[in-house]
Amino acid sequence: MLRPTGAGGRLPSTLSTPRAAQSYREQFHPLHGCTGPRCSAGGARPAGRQVSAAPRRRGAGLVSLRAHGSLRAGQRRGGLERAGRSERREPARGPGSGAMAAAGGSAKLVEMFYDVVSPYSWLGFEVLCRYRHNWSIELRFRPAFLGGIMKETGNQPPAMVPKRAEYMMKDIKRMAKYYQVPVQIPKDFFGSVIRKSSISAMRFITAVDMTQPQFLEPVSRELWMRIWSRDEDITQPESILAAAGEAGLPSALAQKLLAMTSTPEVKNRLKETTEEALKYGAFGMPAVVAHVNGEAHLFFGSDRLELLGNVIGEKWLGPVPAASKPRM
Amino acid sequence: MLRPTGAGGRLPSTLSTPRAAQSYREQFHPLHGCTGPRCSAGGARPAGRQVSAAPRRRGAGLVSLRAHGSLRAGQRRGGLERAGRSERREPARGPGSGAMAAAGGSAKLVEMFYDVVSPYSWLGFEVLCRYRHNWSIELRFRPAFLGGIMKETGNQPPAMVPKRAEYMMKDIKRMAKYYQVPVQIPKDFFGSVIRKSSISAMRFITAVDMTQPQFLEPVSRELWMRIWSRDEDITQPESILAAAGEAGLPSALAQKLLAMTSTPEVKNRLKETTEEALKYGAFGMPAVVAHVNGEAHLFFGSDRLELLGNVIGEKWLGPVPAASKPRM
């Protein structure tokens, strides 16, 4: 019932195999890589913590806390946007998560609450990663727990209605193709994910966010690649460690972060972030919150990014905008 | 609980009053008016029927079955797109509703299943009306019954989840502002609509579609204007007749159509159209179906029109595209 029935568009052959997905990850992601804690981390940072590693792969130097080198703009390869400059606006941040970004008074804080169990979150995540090169925004990724949001709001996964589930699978395939994100539907989605929960993965991502924020983006992406591109497990410790390794986290550090996932600090942080999403009115994911003139605007899903642009005074250029020079 | 809480964008003052909405209707709609049965009617036509009236208002001559005069392109007033030429591609239609449109082999058949109880349907309806001047499509409006679709699929209105309802009201306001459609949320949506049903209104629209298809578009719009702009009833006969009058239907004809709503022919036609939407996989509305290379592609909601464009090989230009010359 949940299997796609083929009417939707198919991913181009260049993106539809694990090897191609691997190629996508290697070639595409580093250029949109995390650029430090102001970019992607949620909540306050522990004072004085040390960042002991940086994401591996080509371009990894770009994503350290200090290095903000540049790349040639306008590069393209294989139809995927690879271009961009890694220089970024880094607006001052006021206290508290709802604080308004204010770099030259123009950059707006945009937060995205997500869970790697959500494929639409992946789509929104990649597109927002691209738009931080085009829009004057301070982008913050906020790992939260979708299960908690659904439980608190009494919402049901759309896939619980059979016709809706059938549509959703086609819709995800079409959106993924158009958004140029290598999503593949898992063979047994209910079995592999919904019955087991993403809680362990999200606690791990939270531990990363708390202590190694420069890895938040690549680790999240690698977990999405596992579940939503290669149909691999994300519930077991070895699966999570494998994703961390793919993201470039040194093995010893990944083990340490995995151990952290059972601490109250990490569990509470994930709860707090989930509660914050609920406070903004979230009932599903992704939940994108734009802060404009002291007001928080919630957008649900990855299909309101054009509207988000309108609300923050920026122009939508489609899901794969050509990179532009930062306007800082 | 269902009242908007103000965080969403507000309609500009020029669109937020009944008077402004009236102005919108008078100035805006005729230029996007229905252009005959090939444009907007669903299902097969009764052979040999006579079209005895045409929608009133300025520009009404444009929407008769024969007259396809032209207007100056590029006109704008009050921020609303008013431009366009009324000349339209009218591709030959093969037998059956799934037939591929084929004007010069390029125009694609796009069907929109809708119910006037659905505000998102109104947004999609107006934007598609605009895009038939920009895209090479044969646009067909298919009045169906949302209640039947929800019942058959076991789907629940999103507003049944309180947080979702709260979001939806803000989302509709923001979308309406961006889409430039004068939506206003009714004070007591559940009381005025959901508990009473839109069945009478949709049967009336079906009767219009069967016998006076050139009025399908304006009558539908006037019913949306009642419920979703002026917070007026659409369940009572006098309400439906008032909408018909606003659309320019002569009173005697409207009375005749109202009497038709209790006939098996009209009831069955509405059922059949609803069943057809279900057959395409609809579980809510609007349900847009694009026919491409003999395959039907379903799009749910008014937020997949960019993706629709991608699937049919047309470019999305935002919700208010500048009118372009028809490419026929």
CATH code of the domain in which A255 resides: 3.40.30.10
Using CA atoms, how far residue B273 sits from A95, B115, B237, B269, in Å, is 56, 11, 22, 6
Least confident of B45-49, B108-112, B124-128, B260-264: B45-49
Give per-residue pLDDT as tens, B190-225.
Answer: 776 677 789 999 999 999 999 999 999 999 999 999
Which residue of A lies nearest to B9 if distances are taken between CA atoms? Answer: A311
Please report whether residue A169 resides in a domain.
Answer: yes
Which residue of A lies nearest to B164 if distances are taken between CA atoms? Answer: A283
User: Mean pLDDT throughout A300-315?
Assistant: 96
User: Mean pLDDT throughout B106-120?
Assistant: 94
Confidence of residue A2 (pLDDT cuts 50, 70, 90): very low
pLDDT at A161: 80
Q: Which of A162, A174, A300 sits opposite B167 (nearest CB)?
A: A300
Please report whether residue B174 resides in a domain.
Answer: yes
What's the pTM? 0.74
Please report whether residue A23 resides in a domain.
Answer: no
Give per-residue pLDDT as tens, A67-106.
Answer: 222 222 223 222 323 233 233 333 333 333 333 343 445 7
Residue A200 has pLDDT above 90, yes or no: yes
- Return mean pLDDT, chain B: 75
User: 10 Å Cβ neighbour count for A43?
Assistant: 16
Confidence of residue B24 (pLDDT cuts 50, 70, 90): low
User: Quick one: what percent of chain A has pLDDT higher than 90?
Assistant: 56
Please report whether residue A11 resides in a domain.
Answer: no
Give per-residue pLDDT as tens, A8-51.
Answer: 333 333 344 445 445 555 444 433 343 333 333 333 333 333 44
Residue B54 has pLDDT above 50, yes or no: yes
Please report whether residue A20 resides in a domain.
Answer: no
User: Mean pLDDT throughout B53-57?
Assistant: 58
Domain count, chain A: 1
Beta pairing partners, A114: A143
Question: Using an 8 Å Cβ cutoff, are A161 and B153 in contact?
Answer: yes
pLDDT at A193: 64
State the sign of the Cα–Cα–Cα–Cα dihedral A228, A232, A238, A241: negative
In this structure, what DSSP letter does residue A29 have?
G
Strands of chain B (E only): list them. Answer: 76-77, 80-81, 108-114, 137-143, 287-292, 295-300
- Cβ contacts of residue A31 below 8 Å, gap of 6+? A59, A71, A75, A82, A83, A84, A86
Give per-residue pLDDT as tens, A269-301.
Answer: 999 999 999 999 999 999 999 999 999 999 999
Please report whether residue A125 resides in a domain.
Answer: yes
Please report whether residue B249 resides in a domain.
Answer: yes
Please report whether residue A184 resides in a domain.
Answer: yes
Question: Using an 8 Å Cβ cutoff, are B8 and B171 in contact?
Answer: yes
Residue B262's domain comprises 53-81+97-318
Question: Using an 8 Å Cβ cutoff, are B242 and B48 in contact?
Answer: no
Give per-residue pLDDT as tens, B66-77.
Answer: 222 222 223 322
User: Mean pLDDT throughout A256-275?
Assistant: 98
User: Mean pLDDT throughout B149-163?
Assistant: 82
Tell which of A150, A166, A307 to mutate to test the B interface (max B CBs under 10 Å): A307
Tell which of A10, A127, A167, A302 to mutate to test the B interface (max B CBs under 10 Å): A167
- Of A55 and B235, the structure prediction assigns the larger pLDDT to B235
User: Cβ–Cβ of A155/B167 closer than 8 Å?
Assistant: no
User: Cβ–Cβ of A7/B316 closer than 8 Å?
Assistant: no
Which residue of A lies nearest to B152 if distances are taken between CA atoms? Answer: A163
Confidence of residue B161 (pLDDT cuts 50, 70, 90): confident
Most confident of the ranges A25-29, A79-83, A219-223, B104-108: A219-223
User: Mean pLDDT throughout A111-128?
Assistant: 97
- Of B111 and B7, the structure prediction assigns the larger pLDDT to B111
